[in-house]
Structure 1
Amino acid sequence: MLWQTSWRNLTRKKVRTLLTLLAIILGVSSMFAVISTVETAQDVTTKRLELYTGNADYSILSRENLFAEDVLAKTKDVDGVKSSLGLIHKQAYVDTGQEGLDQDQRRIRLTGLSSFNSELLSLTNVDGELNKEGVILPKSTAAIWNLSVGDSIDVNLPEGKKQTTVAAIVGDTPLLEGPTSWEDAKNKSWRALLPLDTLQEWYSLEDQVQEVRMKFDKKSTDQIVSDLERTISDDNVYLQEVVLDEKQSNQLEELYLMLYVIGGLAMFISAFILYNTLYVTIVERKNEIAVMKTIGYTPSQIKKIFLTEVLTLSVMGILIALPIGFGLGSLLQTGLFSSFQTDFDFSMKYQWALLLSIALGLLIPLVASLLPVTHASRLDIIKTLKNIPESKPKTNKLRVVLGVIMLGFGLIEHALSIFFLFFGFALLFPTLMKYTISSIKRMPLIGFEGKMACNNLLLTLNRSANMALILAFAICLGLFVSSIFTSLENNTKKDIARSFGGDIQVTTEQEITEQDVKELKNVRGVDDVYSYHETDVTWDTDKTKRQIKMVSVDPEWNEKHPLFYFDTEQEKTSIAFENGKGVLLGSFAFDEWGGKVGESIKVRVNNEVQSLKVIGKVNTNHHGGYAAFLENDRYDMIVPGSQPYHALLTVSEEGAENWIKNDLLATSPFNILEIQTMREEVIKQERAIPGVRALFNGLLFITILVSGIGIVNTLLMNVMERMRELGVMRAVAFTSSQIYKTILTEGLLIGINGIVFGIIMGVITIYLNTLTTKDEMIEFTLPFSTLLVSILMGVIVSLLAAYLPARKAVKYDLQQALKHE
């Protein structure tokens, strides 16, 4: 009976119910898309790490890069080692018959594997035989090279050219992740697999391996590690735990936060629309509610009726929203991954998104309905039936005073300025809109219809102000996010230059000796060279293990060509006196660690625990801020016997990077693993920003669209409340055109208030952010393109939203309008 009553009440106002339902659908689907995107991105990065390492537990490495292959055989005799795999990575060049390719576009990393049947590999065979002699290519590379199984390719090796065949083609996997195009090959090596003994023969590395990966059984890890160290007994090799830390390649927390804010805003707007709808519905049905109370309905029963209506709408909205959310989430994820110019094979993860969307889709509407439903249950029977109007309070002085105070706090520079600003605007918005409408009303250009529209909005001020405020928040958020992206685009080069460490970064196959440094300095165009060390270190958090790169630093080089920078000059000066005494953590690593400056972080280096005092937090582009920095002497104490495989080069003249890169690739073709200029890194990051920016613009468009639905709902309520008045106007020769103009002007005025105050809020928010942020790259930038689009969208959405109520008012039967109560 209760459900039938609720359904009858909902269907009495079909258009209003439909619009409210649509708002819930867009809110829930947006939230589902955002949560599933974050969940999928986190899962993809973890799975990619698992695929790359084969889900190994430990690796055996050498301080001298290579070690004897018999170590691999020894691991198989240790109890508890379930499987092990030996491998070597080497650089080569290929000739695929393509014309006009640069040297860097033909680089390929060859990986030799001791077995292709190991559980430490995840290879999906597409064509050919894995154990057959020849190279194994990923499917995407074979497609770009236009090769099939059995085709021949020429591989340039240190000893000369070698012709081999394509033995097999496998599905794309992180172990073989190469360029996505010939253009992309300028910054990334192609990759291929072949048998370990073949690679050893090609490079004269008989009985040598570079790494041994191992998977343990369920026995005690500490005991297995101890047995391995005793069995191997070689001072040049060490065991290192394989830590699958997705933070190394998934440093997107700020991006996720922005997505949650936009998705949450869409959900909040839909709840606000439901609140407005329910409140007006209760006002319309107050006589009915009073009659129900006179015949014995209790306040709790009345609450149940309205809550059942809300629950019905919510369930219907969720059922329709989830399939839409799947589609929107898929679009969002595809756009996010493609913006990073990398092929991501992914399947949507939606378990948490599904549960949270259902929970929020039910909970938020119920919370939004509590106030109007409580109001319905407390209606005075006598006053309602006698039609005694409720006393309307005068201007809420407390709200205005509180709003001014909050706004004042918001204009003061501190970390919570923006939040105070938003609360202040929200409290003051009805008053601000009242004065704005009153000022417009006095303008002679608006005409009679405009003055009527102003009067109508003043009569329904709170309701109209609420929807204008929501639109203002959406526009403010759009300007704020766009301003950040614009600042990043304008300052990408400057940002990278602050911590790139030079003009060119080089990673080599062999250790970089002092003689190598001298030879690099003699390369035409090279001004200076600095070689440095890197190693992986791990630490335990409360929940899991983390792994970061620890980098050696020469203070003199860093002074001229910084690998990191401090937030303030004062901080830099104070920390400089402690150089050599501790470790500097990159901002992202510092936040993940969760400690304080002056405390010690315990890290595991070469399977030994070291305690390092954290003397500061720094900003860096190296490994996305997920790194630690030590002075050279301190680094040598922590990691004894390590050799440098990385170098930073500076150039003597601007524009010399490209020819230096080509010269190095020509003179040391088989020793360079990676080489990247600062300009290439700038281009890479600049390409990613527009794609991510487009995603946010799409989500913000949905938010403005939901605001438009709210305006439609508000104006429909206003029209239905004034239907008799509109009927009288038509009866005394008011034309349809004048009715249209009046209601369209109402919608336009709501939109204009939202646009104007949204822009004001946006400008102040951008300004406050530049004052409070420590990032020098975030500057006061007003994105004019976003500003123009926001104005156009706000006006168009407002006018379109007003068209339906205006049409309903004009088409409504005149006799029924005159009889309307």
Structure 2
Amino acid sequence: MLPIWRVSWRNITKNSRRFFFTLTALVMGLTLTTAMLVADRTVKVTFAYYEELYAGSADYWIQSRDVTFQESAVKGVEEEAADVLRVLDKETRLMVGEDRDVPVRVTGVSKWETDLLKLPLIEGKRGGLVVPENAARLWKKGVGDTVRFRDLGEMEITGITGYTPWLAGPTDWDQAEGKSFRVMMDLRTLQEGLDLRGDISYIRWEQQGGNSLKRYEEQLAGTSLYIQPVVIDDLRNNDVDGLYSVFTLVSILSLFISGFIVFNMISSSVMERRAEFATMKALGYSAFHVGRLVVMEMVTLSILATILALPIGVWSADAFVAMLLGIFEDTMVYTLNWKGATLMSAAIGLVFPLMAAVVPIMKAVKTPIMAGIKDTEPRIKRSGIRYGAGGVFMLSGIVDHYAGTLLFLLGLILVFPLILGGMTRLLSPILSMLLGYPGTLSAGNIRANLRRNANTAAMVSISMTIVMFLGAVLASMPAGLEREIRETFGGDVHVQFEDPVDSTFILGDRHGIEDLAPYHEVLSVWKTNEGEQREFYLKGIPPGKEEFSLFSGYEGMVEPGHILLGERAFEEWGGEIGSPVTVQTPAGQKEYTVSGTVDTSQDGGYTGFVAAEEFTVDFGWDRSRTVMVTLKEGIDPDEFRSELREAYPTALSSITLEEDAITSAQSAFDGMNDVMLLLLLLIIGLSSIGISNTLLMNILERNSEIRTIRAMGFTYGQVRKMILGEGLLIGITGTLMGIIAGMMVIWMNDNSSMTGMPLIMPWDMMLYASVAGLLLTLIASGVASGMKGSKK
């Protein structure tokens, strides 16, 4: 007797084409799943790495309401620290060429060899002058070359570092118009060069012993200094979860399609071998032995698909991570975190095909002995129940919830036999006219096995629907972001000074300014509803002028002691409106009552807003560093920025235009349409494999019929036309209903309060999907009609 695994291998490869289609579908589904899992883990670890790179081993840091302070002011605190890093940030200018200078923000550090400062050096050494690789590339400078500062003279570049939040700066010359380059040097060199002896911007230290935060606050009481814990919170600097969810949905859809193909394959195999199973039982084999044989076939297929898919998936994850991190302006380095994710994907690959084959396996187990003599399988029609349930589910789509969309799609699947039957009757005359009598037979063959063909067409339809919906979301997000930025940016230009200023005195009489308003913000630590520490910018609500609004979606005044949370911060907090949230402010730890959630473009919605009095009264900040400006009609913002740079060459930290914020936000979606087109081809291609698989099973089940019509004079070409007609009926119905369903899903979500933004109909995606769907249907039908069975 042959080993069971050899028997299983013979059974699943007996029909090589069906085996190839099923294996290919499984490999594609598992490849995408592996890529998504590895990419998710890698991106999260990469962001955490760069946050830790910035935080180092620091436990606390001290800043001043006056921006800078004397080193001697914190000697008492420093004595209790295990390690201390003093830092001074100052703006200056750097000469690029003979007649051009650019803004540069110089960071002076008191020591280089410390766990408080981690630099990913790629060339040269620490100490002296260290520049990021983007700046070195744009300046066309390398280690050993000299650069000339306006206030510091010439200095030699001693090291070049990769991306680090410490030195994040422009990546091209357009960004350099509103964003300063960043470099790092010795603290004493910077202090002496700018005649700022003893001045620092902040200190970071690693705690020694068990002193509490409250103890440090008591030591700093009565001074202009305040303390904050150092918290690693990568959510503040990135928001890729929504984007990643899109691709996760694609991987789930791929698994769904591949599972459907596996289900079809094993179902067909079980039906073909009913007599074989009946004979086995007649010879003394139990139901367990029959089930074990079929399970072993699926295990063999699963193992083979998993072995093939995992390395391809890891390779795909590398490309996917590069695409995701490419959204951000700086070049991030990463290492694929593939081990744990690959093990999880392997588990999915081994278990998922078995789950998809549960029903066919149970049918094989329950095969009666009499099945070897005649077809004893009961044929129960439950079409009425199926169509009724489908209709109810489709009507549930009007429910204003994401579950309504899922129920609508489920209902569409249930009523698809009715849809395919109707389309077959509608298209039958056209097929007969185009293909002749083979076209008439095609329509009859579709109706003869309506359930299976309808399921295949439904698979195509759902794929088209989801791809269209994703296309609408990606097409709408840039427009939605632009609208939100224009509504909540606050003026036309944000000007940030090096030191607190009387903005009215400095900017009030400048040409081109219509109005201005100062506002305060401070990086603060806060706690989620589960007690986890997070970090965001706490912002003071500016004067009640519509042109300076920083958020929307909340009417009325915010009283002292209350806070508004941006949508992302509110979601991460996890509490309810009216509940308290704990925030570490410059005045110490404080509980604010959450008055509501707001829509804002500030920090991607990961922020909080309090009354302006909180800063001026409680925090003791009577002056501001940031000023919002509205320009008079006809004033060019770029020219206004250039004039400010010339007027205040070293007094400004940054000048951000509204258009800069829009460009930066929309740049995250550059190339997304190309990626979606690629995913479209993958999904539609996977669906076409399903069509080929279904047509192949139809052919195998009708071998005797095909031989009969061939004996009656049907040519091979006519048989191919018949099969081509069946594929076209499935593909056209699936594509057409996918477009209609896609439009309905887009419309439902466009009118839903859950979506949060109007959706744009993706007409280009619809065209590409239709062409790809019909073209791949023709290819799939052509492949299926070329099978050996169709030539008999």
TM over 0.5: yes
| Structure 1 residue 414: Cα displacement | 4.7
What is the DSSP-based 3-state SS (H/G/I as helix, E as strand, rest coil) of the residue aligned with 2:158? strand
Change (3 A) 1:3 1:350: same
Q: Is the 8 A contact 1:533 1:642 kept in 2?
A: no
What is the DSSP-based 3-state SS (H/G/I as helix, E as strand, rest coil) of the residue aligned with 1:498? helix
- Is 2:407 aligned against 1:420? yes
Bigger CA drift: 708-717 or 282-291? 708-717
- Once residues 577 and 165 of structure 1 are traced to their aligned partners in structure 2, the CA distance between those partners, rounded to angstroms, is 54
| Structure 1 residue 36: Cα displacement | 1.9
Change (3 A) 1:563 1:267: same
Matches within 5 A, 1:269-288: 269-288=257-276
Equivalent residue in structure 2 for 1:312, among 287, 290, 300: 300
Structure 1 counterpart of 2:115, which letter?
A: E
- Is 2:617 aligned against 1:599? no
| Structure 1 residue 253: Cα displacement | 2.3
Change (3 A) 1:298 1:143: same
Q: Is the 8 A contact 1:755 1:791 kept in 2?
A: yes
Q: Is the 8 A contact 1:410 1:424 kept in 2?
A: no
- Once residues 226 and 492 of structure 1 are traced to their aligned partners in structure 2, the CA distance between those partners, rounded to angstroms, is 41
- Once residues 730 and 790 of structure 2 are traced to their aligned partners in structure 1, the CA distance between those partners, rounded to angstroms, is 23
| Structure 1 residue 231: Cα displacement | 6.0
- Is 2:348 aligned against 1:360? yes
Identify the residue that residue 803 of structure 1 maps to in structure 2.
Answer: 782
Equivalent residue in structure 2 for 1:202, among 193, 203, 219: 193
Equivalent residue in structure 1 for 2:126, among 124, 130, 139: 130
| Structure 1 residue 375: Cα displacement | 0.9
- Once residues 96 and 252 of structure 1 are traced to their aligned partners in structure 2, the CA distance between those partners, rounded to angstroms, is 36
- Is 2:88 aligned against 1:88? yes
| Structure 1 residue 525: Cα displacement | 1.1
What is the DSSP-based 3-state SS (H/G/I as helix, E as strand, rest coil) of the residue aligned with 2:539? strand
What is the DSSP-based 3-state SS (H/G/I as helix, E as strand, rest coil) of the residue aligned with 1:609? strand
Change (3 A) 1:519 1:774: farther
Identify the residue that residue 518 of structure 2 maps to in structure 1.
Answer: 531
Q: Is the 8 A contact 2:720 2:790 kept in 1?
A: no
Q: Is the 8 A contact 1:6 1:306 kept in 2?
A: yes
Change (3 A) 1:293 1:46: same
Equivalent residue in structure 2 for 1:62, among 61, 64, 67: 64
Identify the residue that residue 712 of structure 1 maps to in structure 2.
Answer: 692
Equivalent residue in structure 1 for 2:443, among 410, 430, 454: 454
- Is 2:107 aligned against 1:120? no
Q: Is the 8 A contact 2:719 2:790 kept in 1?
A: no
Change (3 A) 1:394 1:171: closer
Bigger CA drift: 623-632 or 703-712? 703-712
Identify the residue that residue 785 of structure 1 maps to in structure 2.
Answer: 764
Q: Deviations over 1:156-192 (max 9, x none)?
A: 23xxx62222222333333222222223323432111
| Structure 1 residue 121: Cα displacement | 1.7
How much identity, in percent, do the aligned residues show?
A: 28
Structure 2 counterpart of 1:418, which letter?
A: T
Structure 1 counterpart of 2:566, which letter?
A: G
Change (3 A) 1:544 1:693: farther
Equivalent residue in structure 1 for 2:548, among 561, 566, 569: 561
Equivalent residue in structure 1 for 2:655, among 669, 675, 691: 675
Equivalent residue in structure 2 for 1:154, among 148, 161, 165: 148
- Is 2:509 aligned against 1:522? yes
Change (3 A) 1:614 1:811: closer
- Once residues 74 and 160 of structure 2 are traced to their aligned partners in structure 1, the CA distance between those partners, rounded to angstroms, is 27
Change (3 A) 1:3 1:71: farther
| Structure 1 residue 555: Cα displacement | 4.6
Identify the residue that residue 399 of structure 1 maps to in structure 2.
Answer: 386
Q: Is the 8 A contact 1:526 1:649 kept in 2?
A: yes
Identify the residue that residue 43 of structure 1 maps to in structure 2.
Answer: 45
Structure 1 counterpart of 2:588, which letter?
A: E
Change (3 A) 1:775 1:798: closer
Change (3 A) 1:578 1:495: closer
Bigger CA drift: 54-63 or 141-150? 141-150
Q: Is the 8 A contact 2:587 2:619 kept in 1?
A: no
Q: Deviations over 1:365-410 (max 9, x none)?
A: 111111110111111221x122235342335211111111111121
- Once residues 770 and 811 of structure 1 are traced to their aligned partners in structure 2, the CA distance between those partners, rounded to angstroms, is 47
Bigger CA drift: 302-311 or 137-146? 137-146
What is the DSSP-based 3-state SS (H/G/I as helix, E as strand, rest coil) of the residue aligned with 2:97? coil
| Structure 1 residue 227: Cα displacement | 5.8
Structure 1 counterpart of 2:150, which letter?
A: N
Q: Deviations over 1:18-45 (max 9, x none)?
A: 2211111111110111122222222222
Bigger CA drift: 246-255 or 730-739? 730-739
Structure 1 counterpart of 2:291, which letter?
A: K
Equivalent residue in structure 1 for 2:368, among 380, 383, 386: 380
TM-score, normalised with respect to structure 2: 0.95
Identify the residue that residue 686 of structure 1 maps to in structure 2.
Answer: 666
Structure 1 counterpart of 2:359, which letter?
A: L
Identify the residue that residue 486 of structure 1 maps to in structure 2.
Answer: 475
- Once residues 635 and 34 of structure 2 are traced to their aligned partners in structure 1, the CA distance between those partners, rounded to angstroms, is 47
- Once residues 513 and 501 of structure 2 are traced to their aligned partners in structure 1, the CA distance between those partners, rounded to angstroms, is 16
- Once residues 168 and 334 of structure 2 are traced to their aligned partners in structure 1, the CA distance between those partners, rounded to angstroms, is 14
- Is 2:332 aligned against 1:328? no
What is the DSSP-based 3-state SS (H/G/I as helix, E as strand, rest coil) of the residue aligned with 1:406? helix
- Once residues 350 and 71 of structure 1 are traced to their aligned partners in structure 2, the CA distance between those partners, rounded to angstroms, is 48
What is the DSSP-based 3-state SS (H/G/I as helix, E as strand, rest coil) of the residue aligned with 2:488? coil
Change (3 A) 1:21 1:385: same
- Is 2:500 aligned against 1:511? yes
Matches within 5 A, 1:580-599: 580=560, 582-599=562-579
- Is 2:33 aligned against 1:31? yes
Change (3 A) 1:811 1:399: closer
- Once residues 607 and 355 of structure 1 are traced to their aligned partners in structure 2, the CA distance between those partners, rounded to angstroms, is 48
- Once residues 539 and 351 of structure 1 are traced to their aligned partners in structure 2, the CA distance between those partners, rounded to angstroms, is 34
Change (3 A) 1:71 1:53: farther
Q: Report the number of matched residues.
A: 787
What is the DSSP-based 3-state SS (H/G/I as helix, E as strand, rest coil) of the residue aligned with 1:714? helix
Identify the residue that residue 660 of structure 1 maps to in structure 2.
Answer: 640
Change (3 A) 1:556 1:29: same
Identify the residue that residue 713 of structure 2 maps to in structure 1.
Answer: 733
What is the DSSP-based 3-state SS (H/G/I as helix, E as strand, rest coil) of the residue aligned with 2:107? strand
Identify the residue that residue 819 of structure 1 maps to in structure 2.
Answer: none
Change (3 A) 1:389 1:435: farther
- Once residues 629 and 578 of structure 1 are traced to their aligned partners in structure 2, the CA distance between those partners, rounded to angstroms, is 9
Equivalent residue in structure 2 for 1:544, among 532, 538, 553: 532
Q: Is the 8 A contact 1:35 1:353 kept in 2?
A: yes
Q: Is the 8 A contact 2:108 2:186 kept in 1?
A: yes
Identify the residue that residue 106 of structure 2 maps to in structure 1.
Answer: 110
- Once residues 710 and 676 of structure 1 are traced to their aligned partners in structure 2, the CA distance between those partners, rounded to angstroms, is 52
- Is 2:593 aligned against 1:613? yes
Identify the residue that residue 773 of structure 2 maps to in structure 1.
Answer: 794
- Once residues 26 and 655 of structure 1 are traced to their aligned partners in structure 2, the CA distance between those partners, rounded to angstroms, is 55
Q: Deviations over 1:536-563 (max 9, x none)?
A: 2222332631111111013512x33321
Change (3 A) 1:166 1:634: closer
- Once residues 98 and 684 of structure 2 are traced to their aligned partners in structure 1, the CA distance between those partners, rounded to angstroms, is 49
- Once residues 724 and 242 of structure 2 are traced to their aligned partners in structure 1, the CA distance between those partners, rounded to angstroms, is 40
| Structure 1 residue 321: Cα displacement | 0.6
- Once residues 313 and 775 of structure 1 are traced to their aligned partners in structure 2, the CA distance between those partners, rounded to angstroms, is 40
- Once residues 646 and 482 of structure 1 are traced to their aligned partners in structure 2, the CA distance between those partners, rounded to angstroms, is 38
Identify the residue that residue 397 of structure 2 maps to in structure 1.
Answer: 410
- Is 2:452 aligned against 1:463? yes
Change (3 A) 1:692 1:188: farther
- Once residues 634 and 35 of structure 2 are traced to their aligned partners in structure 1, the CA distance between those partners, rounded to angstroms, is 45
- Once residues 308 and 607 of structure 1 are traced to their aligned partners in structure 2, the CA distance between those partners, rounded to angstroms, is 68
- Once residues 65 and 624 of structure 2 are traced to their aligned partners in structure 1, the CA distance between those partners, rounded to angstroms, is 10
Q: Deviations over 1:180-221 (max 9, x none)?
A: 22233234321111100111112221011111111235x43x
Structure 2 counterpart of 1:137, which letter?
A: V
TM-score, normalised with respect to structure 1: 0.92
| Structure 1 residue 345: Cα displacement | 1.1
What is the DSSP-based 3-state SS (H/G/I as helix, E as strand, rest coil) of the residue aligned with 2:501? coil
Structure 2 counterpart of 1:135, which letter?
A: L
Gaps of 5+ in 2: none
Identify the residue that residue 338 of structure 2 maps to in structure 1.
Answer: 350
